[in-house]
Amino acid sequence: MSPDLVGKKVAVPAHVAIIMDGNGRWAGARGLPRLAGHRAGADAVARCLRAAMQRGVTYLTLYAFSSENWSRGPQEVADLTGLLRYYLRHKVRELHAEGVQIRFIGDLSRFDAGLRAELTRAEELTAGNSRLVLLLALSYGGRGDIVQAVQRLARASRDGTIDPDQITEADFAAHLWTAGIPDPDVIVRTSGECRLSNFLLWQSAYAELVFLDVFWPDFNEGHFATVLDLYARRERRFGARPVASA
């Protein structure tokens, strides 16, 4: 924590969302294959989880595999899904023991049946945990999330179970893949890039944005603390006028 925040009541974001960017460039700078970068990125995820739990964050969303990632080369897609299988088989029970609830958001239908079954088992095993809710965005795209919500609402309207003239923002949010999850308080992107890249487009309406000039495999507890310090300094008004001090 920064010295000027010591002794003050510091706001901790309930929900931190992270675009984990830079695995490939991290590996390339070291003359390593991209898979090495993805493996190092998985180690950064473990550090991030520890930091989130230590600092009292309730929800952590990680952009692990975007809908656009399917267009990468077949070998890299196979490497990414292979890593996912490995961690589902070898790390989920550790997270369960730590009290982490795991949820997946995105178009999971694009994964094969065996992998989808493992995703379901991970969710079912950890469903009762409450120390931290970890959302992994897989085959996820913000525009796709909005489109599928519109489709679901359109079907409900066609079936007569909802009046289209009465649809509210809350109704719409309830049909997103993140239904029941509070919107992120802060969205972080690593690697120095300054864009959302189709991540949580609806949900990010009032999120604080933090862009870090560090490749994801180098992300550590200190970087997480930096994010929380930056968040604590920002005044969140949600469009309202500031209240004059007495």
Q: Please, are residues 214 and 191 in contact by the beta-carbon 8 Å criterion?
A: yes
Q: Tell me whether residue 202 is annotated as binding.
A: no
Identify whether 69 is a catalytic site residue.
Answer: yes
Q: Determine whether the annotation assigns residue 223 to a binding site.
A: no
Contact indicator for 34, 23 with CB cutoff of 8 Å: yes
* Choice among 4, 21, 79, 129 that is catalytic: 21
Tell whether residue 26 is among the known ligand binding residues: yes
The answer to the question of whether 22 is labelled as a binding residue is yes
Distance (Å, whole) CA 47 – CA 14: 18
Q: 112: part of which helix (H) or strand (E)?
A: none
208 is in an annotated binding site: yes
Name the DSSP letter for residue 14: S
Strands 15-19 and 186-189: parallel
Cβ-based neighbours of 161, under 8 Å, separated by 6 or more: none
37 marked as part of a ligand binding site: no
47-77 burial, b at 16+ Cβ within 10 Å, e below that, comes to bbbebbbebebbbbbbbbbbbebeebeeeee
Name the nearest CA neighbour of 88 among 107, 112, 70, 57: 112
Torsion of CA 10, 11, 12, 13, to 10 degrees: -160
Q: Is 98 flagged in the annotation as binding?
A: no
User: Is position 131 annotated in a ligand binding site?
Assistant: no
171 assigned to a ligand binding site: no
3-state secondary structure at position 76: helix
State in Å, rounded, how far the first CA of the chain is from the last one.
29
**Is residue 165 flagged as an active site residue?**
no
198 labelled ligand-binding: no
**Does 68 belong to an annotated binding site?**
yes
Is 23 annotated as contributing to ligand binding? Answer: yes
Q: Is 72 annotated for ligand binding?
A: yes
Residue 196 annotated as part of some ligand binding site:
yes
Active-site residue, from 69, 129, 198, 220: 69
List binding-site positions for Mg(2+): 21, 208
Positions annotated as catalytic residues are: 21, 69
List binding-site positions: 21-26, 34, 38, 66-68, 70, 72, 189, 195-197, 208
List binding-site positions for substrate: 22-26, 34, 38, 66-68, 70, 72, 189, 195-197
